[in-house]
């Protein structure tokens, strides 16, 4: 347990506490309206968002892997949680969140945190932008003051619902929403250190209370009074049937929570020149999501905007996150009755601004302008997030990204037939010197560059097949620039070696690096070729190849592929193989 706190509070002082106290209070002020808004948008009561900000915020700061991470409910979770609530109900959402917490802990324990970074950027931008669209459009009803709106799981159904009820627009609500939006936008320009969302909520609530009382829907009228009491501890009813039913949603929550929290931690690292512990961060997120549902809270993760605010206001340690959670709790106990009067129309523009800020619009536009395979992955992930589900979007997006990656990597494998360039003193082997009039009938030499894996193995085989059809006696493979070989590549390689040696040929391999050599040993190819047929330099392999030639076939040959050929083609030297040594190529080739 002590390892969880190692290095996090070393050298902590009173000055550090003062900084953390200020940062924690400011972040707490920002977090309260956001927590209620995200909870409402997720289809649950606003107090559940406050419970999450309080409990998860404290636990993530205590046990997480980033000194500056602020945890709580986030916009990224909104469409997922709403779909779970609509499909399974609130209680099952708590169970799914708890299961997600267990999965996150296991991911951290088994050190899977570093794997999150392998999710392609177009996929994360695609689903983030899609989530932003869902959040934004999901607040149109509250912005317009529409009532009797039925929430649906899918985007098109929700849009149809809006159009059906658009004639019932409440212009009082629209006016309140515009006031809140104006305050959110204008306040940071006039008072940079004052949270615009808080000013917008307070001003618009006061206007609605004193001038439009009873004309605008509020939190109290829609969800009842927010209780100013501590959340009750309750263990959800766990059954095998429920666990099986919710494993899919739990996995989605865990994956998105892991991605979001680690992205937030990376942002914090960039702002502070620090380094987070990704596996410990996953464990901290897991602990928070296991405990929070026991008090009625919804799933939580690292919040990028609140983490950035925490850093900008001078946070010195995880204590600021703990103070933020305590501040949220105290505010709940003291001011809950007042929060109940907040108009739903005031919450809408705040979430719309959040959606706009998280839309990744600049990165989205940049990737689309490139017009590459990444653009295709981005747009498909984006559209599927909106019109299908985040689960399908990520699965398809990752699948497409993997296919594109394999295609690109397969194009990196280059196999060229080469020969020594006699026009240069070094005699380095070159591709361009090989032609029908200048090629050795008995020695085929190839340079192989790039990974030899399943996506490129067939290219490797098809390029070398002509060498076997011509029935050369020696096959030299220059593999100094082959970084690795997988099982498929090894199978193709082994088949080539087997077919070539069965016809009496000799395979020589040069320049193999240590990692590739180890892989060839594991796959049995090293022993299949033979230790004495591996050489460090190409020149050494050529020297060996010249001793394996059928000298009778050299008589009259006009290709002169090697310098030695001038002597090998004369009758006087045709049967005198002992003289080959004096004409051997330099080992530097």
pTM above 0.75, yes or no: yes
Neighbours of 148 (CB within 10 A): 9
Q: Are residues 425 and 394 in the same domain?
A: no
CA angle at residue 52 from 49 to 53, to 5 degrees? 90
Whether residue 244 is predicted with pLDDT greater than 60 in this model: the reply is yes
Q: What is residue 8's predicted lDDT score, i.e. its pLDDT?
A: 65
**Domain for residue 10, yes or no?**
no
The answer to whether 342 and 43 are in contact (CB under 8 A) is: no
Q: Are residues 546 and 459 in the same domain?
A: yes
Q: What is the mean pLDDT of residues 503-523?
A: 94
**Domain for residue 3, yes or no?**
no
Answer with the residue of higher pLDDT: 429 or 52: 52
CATH number for the domain that contains residue 517: 3.30.750.24
**Domain for residue 375, yes or no?**
yes
**Which residues share a beta bridge with 448?**
415
Q: How does residue 572 score in pLDDT terms, banded at 50, 70 and 90?
A: very low
Q: What is the mean pLDDT of residues 6-19?
A: 79
Q: Are residues 120 and 192 in the same domain?
A: yes
Whether residue 585 is predicted with pLDDT greater than 70 in this model: the reply is no
Q: Are residues 427 and 396 in the same domain?
A: no
Q: What is the mean pLDDT of residues 203-214?
A: 94
User: What is the H or E stretch that residue 12 is in?
Assistant: none
What is the domain range of residue 263? 15-402
Half-sphere exposure for 380 (CA within 13 Å, toward CB): 15
Q: How does residue 586 score in pLDDT terms, banded at 50, 70 and 90?
A: very low
Q: How many angstroms separate the Cα of 39 from the Cα of each of 35, 74, 75, 80, 285?
A: 6, 9, 9, 12, 19
Q: What is residue 497's predicted lDDT score, i.e. its pLDDT?
A: 94
Q: Are residues 420 and 487 in the same domain?
A: yes
Q: Are residues 395 and 472 in the same domain?
A: no
> Taking Cα atoms as reference points, which of 227, 302, 222, 229 lies closest to residue 268?
302
Where does residue 193 rank: exposed (0-12), middle (13-18), buried (19+ CB within 10 A)? Answer: exposed
Last residue within a domain, chosen from 350, 374, 402: 402
Last residue within a domain, chosen from 402, 425, 442: 402
Q: What is residue 147's predicted lDDT score, i.e. its pLDDT?
A: 86
pLDDT digits (tens, 9 = 90+) for 215-231: 999 999 999 999 999 89
Q: Are residues 386 and 484 in the same domain?
A: no
- Helices 78-88, 240-272: axis angle to 10 degrees equals 170
**Domain for residue 361, yes or no?**
yes
**Domain for residue 7, yes or no?**
no
- List of long-range contacts for 370-378, beta carbons under 8 Å, 24+ apart: 373/400, 373/404, 373/407, 373/408, 374/120, 374/121, 374/122, 374/404, 375/122, 376/400, 376/404, 377/120, 377/122, 377/123, 377/126, 377/401, 377/404, 378/122, 378/123, 378/125, 378/126
Q: What is the mean pLDDT of residues 454-465?
A: 89
**Domain for residue 505, yes or no?**
yes
Last residue within a domain, chosen from 402, 424, 451: 402
User: What is the H or E stretch that residue 54 is in?
Assistant: helix 46-63
**Domain for residue 9, yes or no?**
no
Q: What is residue 578's predicted lDDT score, i.e. its pLDDT?
A: 45
Distance between CA 301 and CA 297 in Å, rounded?
12
Q: What is the mean pLDDT of residues 283-308?
A: 95
Local structure of residue 507 (DSSP, 8 states): E
Q: Are residues 231 and 354 in the same domain?
A: yes
The answer to whether 149 and 165 are in contact (CB under 8 A) is: yes
Q: How does residue 175 score in pLDDT terms, banded at 50, 70 and 90?
A: very high
Q: How does residue 50 score in pLDDT terms, banded at 50, 70 and 90?
A: very high
Answer with the residue of higher pLDDT: 81 or 263: 81
Strand 474-481 versus strand 506-510 pairing type = parallel
Q: Are residues 397 and 422 in the same domain?
A: no
Q: How does residue 426 score in pLDDT terms, banded at 50, 70 and 90?
A: low
**Domain for residue 72, yes or no?**
yes
Distance between CA 336 and CA 323 in Å, rounded?
19
Half-sphere exposure for 21 (CA within 13 Å, toward CB): 6
Q: Are residues 395 and 436 in the same domain?
A: no
- Please state, for a pLDDT cut of 90, what percent of the chain lies above it: 69
Structure tokens that stand for 359 in this block: 């839309």
Q: Are residues 28 and 140 in the same domain?
A: yes
Q: How does residue 569 score in pLDDT terms, banded at 50, 70 and 90?
A: low
Q: What is residue 568's predicted lDDT score, i.e. its pLDDT?
A: 65
Provide the mean pLDDT of the chain: 89
Q: Are residues 307 and 442 in the same domain?
A: no
Structural domain count of the chain? 2
């Amino acid at each position: 347990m002590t390892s969880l706190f190692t290095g996090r509070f070393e050298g902590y002082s009173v000055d550090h506490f003062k900084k953390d106290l200020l940062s924690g209070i400011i972040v707490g002020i920002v977090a309260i309206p956001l927590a209620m808004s995200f909870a409402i948008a997720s289809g649950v009561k606003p107090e559940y968002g406050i419970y999450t900000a309080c409990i998860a915020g404290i636990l993530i700061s205590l046990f997480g892997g980033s000194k500056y991470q602020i945890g709580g409910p986030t916009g990224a979770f909104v469409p997922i949680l709403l779909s779970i609530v609509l499909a399974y109900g609130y209680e099952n959402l708590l169970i799914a969140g708890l299961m997600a917490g267990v999965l996150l802990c296991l991911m951290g324990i088994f050190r899977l945190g570093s794997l999150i970074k392998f999710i392609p950027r177009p996929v994360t931008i695609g689903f983030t932008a899609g989530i932003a669209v869902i959040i934004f459009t999901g607040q149109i009803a509250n912005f317009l003051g529409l009532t009797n709106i039925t929430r649906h799981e899918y985007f098109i159904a929700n849009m149809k619902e809006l159009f059906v009820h658009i004639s019932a627009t409440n212009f009082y609500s629209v006016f309140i929403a515009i006031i809140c939006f104006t305050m959110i936008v204008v306040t940071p320009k006039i008072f940079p250190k004052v949270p615009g969302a808080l000013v917008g909520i307070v001003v618009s609530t006061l206007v609605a209370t004193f001038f439009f009382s009873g004309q605008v829907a509020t939190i109290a009228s829609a969800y009842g009074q927010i209780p100013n009491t501590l959340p009750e501890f309750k263990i959800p009813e766990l059954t095998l049937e429920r666990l099986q039913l919710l494993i899919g949603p739990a996995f989605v929550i865990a994956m998105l929570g892991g991605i979001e929290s680690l992205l937030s931690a990376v942002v914090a690292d960039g702002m502070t020149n620090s380094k987070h512990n990704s596996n410990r961060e996953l464990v901290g997120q897991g602990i928070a999501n296991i405990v929070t549902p026991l008090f009625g809270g919804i799933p939580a993760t690292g919040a990028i905007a609140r983490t950035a605010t925490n850093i900008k206001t001078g946070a010195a340690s995880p204590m600021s996150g703990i103070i933020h959670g305590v501040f949220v709790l105290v505010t709940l106990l003291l001011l809950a009755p007042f929060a109940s009067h907040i108009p739903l129309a005031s919450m809408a523009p705040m979430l719309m601004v959040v959606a706009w800020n998280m839309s990744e619009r600049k990165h989205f536009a940049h990737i689309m302008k490139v017009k590459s395979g990444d653009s295709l992955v981005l747009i498909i992930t984006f559209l599927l997030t909106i019109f299908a589900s985040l689960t399908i979007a990520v699965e398809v997006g990752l699948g497409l990204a993997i296919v594109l990656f394999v295609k690109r990597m397969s194009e990196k494998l280059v196999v060229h037939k080469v020969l020594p360039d006699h026009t240069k003193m070094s005699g380095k082997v070159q591709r361009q010197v090989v032609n029908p009039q200048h090629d050795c009938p008995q020695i085929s030499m190839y340079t192989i560059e790039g990974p030899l894996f399943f996506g490129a193995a067939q290219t490797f085989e098809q390029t070398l097949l002509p060498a076997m059809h011509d029935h050369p006696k020696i096959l030299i493979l220059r593999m100094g620039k082959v970084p690795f070989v997988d099982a498929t590549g090894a199978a193709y390689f082994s088949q080539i070696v087997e077919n070539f040696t069965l016809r009496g040929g000799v395979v020589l391999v040069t320049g193999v690096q240590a990692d590739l050599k180890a892989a060839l040993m594991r796959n049995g190819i090293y022993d299949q070729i033979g230790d004495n047929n591996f050489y460090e330099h190409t020149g050494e392999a050529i020297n060996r190849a010249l001793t394996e030639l059928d000298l009778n076939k050299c008589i009259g040959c006009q290709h002169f592929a090697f310098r030695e050929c001038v002597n090998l083609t004369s009758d006087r030297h045709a049967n005198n193989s002992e003289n080959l040594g004096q004409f051997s190529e330099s080992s530097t080739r």
